[in-house]
Amino acid sequence: MIKKRIYLDNSATTPISKDVVKEMQKYFSESYGNASSLHYFGRQAKQAVESSRAKIAKLINAEIDEIIFTSCGTESNNLAILGVAKAYGDYGHIITSPIEHYSVLSPCNYLKNRNYQITYIDVNQSGIVSPTDLINSLQENTILISIMHANNEIGVIQPIEDIASKLYKINQTRKQKVYLHTDAIQTAGKLNINVKNLGIDLLSISAHKLHGPKGIGALYVKRGIKIFPILFGGHHEKNLRPGTENVLGIVGLSKSYEIAYNSLKDHYSHVLNLKRRLEEGILNDISDVTINTDKTNSLPHILNVSFKYIEGESLLLMLDMYGIAVSTGSACTSDSLNPSHVLTSIGLNTIAARGSIRFSLSYQNTLKEIDYVLSVLPKIVNDLRLMSPMWKKHTVY
């Protein structure tokens, strides 16, 4: 019988914070107006949307009119990529990396099937893109670079500022300016995001990764960027994203971001401490493991580990029986039999990629929980290995 469940899948989604729920409560029942209505109820809703927009803009050092609300991070990424591509016409060139989330890779693939050229810039063994390689792959018709701020499976942080400053210099000499988009869905609320310091043109965020509600996201669009809508309807969100505003979601997004921002330093060190304990414990007590998360250049809350000779899915299910929730990679690809595209891109072979587990922590986790995980994990791994034909043959890979 499981007494308490331990949630270590915070990169898939996070529990909504009580303060966020409290803030949203009013907009479920009392303040139910449509933000486009002119009467009292509408004005109340509009006020909630606009003050949330102002709050988010301030937190990321953007202008208020540069924040566009969307339905999720996936939509923000689609709007950034397809919206810029549409604004530029029927063909062009986009540069991205092979370890992006599918909400970036899929719209790129869509464009590839429609006259666009897509370059996937290689990453090194840690998953880092080289800003120089990226700049060297620019073409005359390049319109956009989309590189994630940090990866959702292995947590590696990309050198966005370096890319932006190199691109800025190149853009001074180019007729066709190249925009820089970053998917900051895993970093918002974990790292300090200042769009001006980062030097980016477009940035995606999503509330449910930072203890906010699901189904709400935002796209930062720098003033002057040429971008078209990808949905058509009313004139909401500066004609860029039609649809009645999700007022309570928007309120939840801004509140969750505010809380995350105000406690960033404390949460960062707490979570990093937990991650170090987990990593050390695994390395000390279990043989044949590989840490797939870069030691220094990674998010504090993500630890990706390959356990040789066993399947990640089996390990996940066994941990679940002990009340511990982890994942084998991105939640969006959990129904796929293919090994993670992120892990294979950093050089893992299929067997090692299939034997991997992502632990993703939050400020709500405790040392006691990590110690419990470490008390059961070695035995689970050992039991699975005893059943594994790969272990019996001691396959070398």
Q: Which residues form the interface with ligand PLP (CB under 6 A)?
A: 72-74, 77, 101, 103, 148, 152, 183, 185-186, 206, 208, 217, 330-332
Least distance from ligand PLP to the Cβ atom of residue 29, Å: 25
Q: Which is nearer to ligand PLP, 12 or 381 (CB)?
A: 12
Q: Which is nearer to ligand PLP, 100 or 201 (CB)?
A: 100
Distance between CA atoms of 88 and 376, rounded to whole angstroms?
A: 55
CB atoms within 10 A of CB 345: 20
Least distance from ligand PLP to the Cβ atom of residue 302, Å: 10
The angle subtended at Cα 343 by Cα 339 and Cα 389, nearest 5°, is 50
Catalytic (active site) residue 332 = yes
Q: Which is nearer to ligand PLP, 44 or 52 (CB)?
A: 52
Least distance from ligand PLP to the Cβ atom of residue 341, Å: 13
Q: Label each residue of the chain as H, E or C.
A: CCCCCEECECCCCCCCCHHHHHHHHHHHHCCCCCCCCCCHHHHHHHHHHHHHHHHHHHHCCCCHHHEEEECCHHHHHHHHHHHHHHHHCCCEEEEECCCCCHHHHHHHHHHHCCCEEEEECCECCCCCECHHHHHHCCCCCEEEEECCCECCCCCEECCHHHHHHHHHHHHHCCCCCCEEEEECCCCECCECCCHHHHCCCEEEEEHHHCCCCCCCEEEEECCCCCCCCCCCCCCHHHHCCCCCCCHHHHHHHHHHHHHHHHCHHHHHHHHHHHHHHHHHHHHHHCCCEEECCCCCCECCCEEEEEECCCCHHHHHHHHHHCCEECECCCHHHCCCCCCCHHHHHCCCCHHHHHCEEEEECCCCCCHHHHHHHHHHHHHHHHHHHHHCHHHHHCCCC
Least distance from ligand PLP to the Cβ atom of residue 94, Å: 17
Least distance from ligand PLP to the Cβ atom of residue 69, Å: 12
Least distance from ligand PLP to the Cβ atom of residue 184, Å: 8
* Closest residue to bound ligand PLP by CB: 73
Least distance from ligand PLP to the Cβ atom of residue 397, Å: 28
Q: Which is nearer to ligand PLP, 292 or 330 (CB)?
A: 330
Q: Out of 332, 374, 376, 390, pick the active-site residue.
A: 332
Q: Which is nearer to ligand PLP, 272 or 331 (CB)?
A: 331
Paired tokens of 269? 């060190």
The residue whose two tokens read 């203890």 is 211
Catalytic residues, by residue number, are 332
